Amino acid sequence: MEYKIAAVLGASGLIGKEIINELIENQSYSEIRIITRRPLHHTHEKIKEYIIDFENLNQLRNALEGVHHLFCAVGTTTKKVKGDKVLYRKVDYNIPVDGVQVGFDMGIEYFAVVSSIGADENSSNFYLKLKGEMEKEVSQFAIPQIGIFRPSMLMGKREEFRLAEKISSFIFPIFAFLVPSKYKPIQGKTVAKAMVMNASKGKGVQILYYNDMKKLIS
């Protein structure tokens, strides 16, 4: 069996934490690299933490040397960046784009990234336009497999409180039958598991929605 080395960007978030759990349990991976700005203090024997400045691409190259599969689950909010759209872009666009660029240079085989339902580079909505621009850029790299995951509302336990998600968790079960499948809320754990399960299942650029993710983990 050929063991793989995985790296995770955005390991402290809802989906990122679940990706780490999935990779720990997956026997295909011998090493998991968490690439982060601050220590997360993981103690599992598979895990190595790389504390880097994301604007320093040499540090990113060092962290990705020898990596086979790169998982990107970075994402911020307007509240976290205090409305600074430049800072928002540095997180949601620059990190995944720099990650795939360096990953491509280092020979990665699979890049999986969390985007959003409705992502569109031509959208008038700042968030959806940003995600669309990110998707367009990462799709241009000749990596054997790129998975772009487009969830709708994310469900799961977060460190920060998000009112819209809390309200949705109560209302959605009542009106679920009215909502098109791709717009259905989805557990962060489901997205993470699908990202890991999708590795080596296909070639080229794949865009995956609710049904695709559910099918991968079934």
- pLDDT above 70 (res 1): no
Q: Give the torsion sign (CA, 166, 168, 171, 173).
A: negative
Nearest to 17 by CA among 211, 208, 218, 191: 191
Q: What is the mean pLDDT of residues 43-62?
A: 97
Give the pLDDT of residue 181: 78
Question: What SS3 class is residue 187?
Answer: strand
Quickly state the pLDDT bin for 207 (edges 50, 70, 90): very high
Contact of 208 with 147, CB cutoff 8 Å? yes
Residue 217 has pLDDT above 60, yes or no: yes
pTM of the model: 0.91
Q: Where are the alpha helices (DSSP H) in the chain?
A: 14-25, 57-64, 85-89, 95-106, 126-138, 163-175, 188-197, 210-217
For the stretch 153-192, pLDDT in tens is: 898 765 554 555 555 555 555 555 566 778 888 999 999 9
Tell the residue number behind the tokens 């968490």, with chain if given.
34
pLDDT at 124 over 90: yes
pLDDT at 169: 54
SS3 per residue for 143-181: CCEEEEECCCCEECCCCCCCHHHHHHHHHHHHHHHHCCH
Over residues 192-196, the mean pLDDT reads: 98
Q: Is the pLDDT of residue 77 over 60?
A: yes
What does the pLDDT average to over 43-66? 97
Question: Where does residue 53 rank: exposed (0-12), middle (13-18), buried (19+ CB within 10 A)?
Answer: exposed
pLDDT digits (tens, 9 = 90+) for 88-119: 999 999 999 999 999 999 999 999 999 999 99
The length of the chain in residues reads: 218
Identify the H or E element spanning 34: strand 29-36
Would the pLDDT of 83 be above 70? yes
- % pLDDT > 90, the chain: 83
